[in-house]
Amino acid sequence: MLGFNLPDLDWHNLGRCFTGKHDPNLWISAKGGSGITAKKICNTQCPVKAKCLAWITDIENTEGMQAGIYGGLSPRERLDLKRSSHNKPARRGQHSPTSIKERQDHG
């Protein structure tokens, strides 16, 4: 169980990890474990996968990395996703504050 107050998680009960059909321990892989079965269930059967990933991303942004498979991803995969999203250039029409300032300074 995570060590903080949980927001409204009604959607969580719709997750395949909560159906009672699967061993809940599948989502808590041992250090270095792949969690491949849990990922397969998340990625092929879960209607709340995206919501789960968004939720754990918010949690990890404030509380740090959490163990277990969430949104079909391991902690390492979520960290890689976070790193890659920080390294993406701004999409066309979107500018970082730095790029706007640079354009103002250079005319």
Contact 42, 49 (CB under 8 A): yes
Q: Determine the pLDDT at residue 30.
A: 60
Those residues whose C-beta lies under 8 Å from the C-beta of residue 71, and which sit 6 or more positions away, are 42, 49, 50, 52, 53, 54, 55, 56, 57, 78
pLDDT: which is higher, 89 or 19: 19
Contact 70, 52 (CB under 8 A): yes
pLDDT: which is higher, 87 or 64: 64
Under the banding of pLDDT at 50, 70 and 90, the label for residue 20 is confident
Q: Interior CA angle at 50 toward 44 and 51, to 5°?
A: 130
Question: What is the pTM (predicted TM-score) of this model?
Answer: 0.68
Q: Determine the pLDDT at residue 7.
A: 59
> Can you give the three-state secondary structure of 42-94, one letter per residue?
HHHHCCCHHHHHHHHHHHHHHHCCCCCCECCECHHHHHHHHHHHHHCCCCCCC
Q: What percent of the chain has pLDDT over 90?
A: 36
Average pLDDT value for the chain: 77
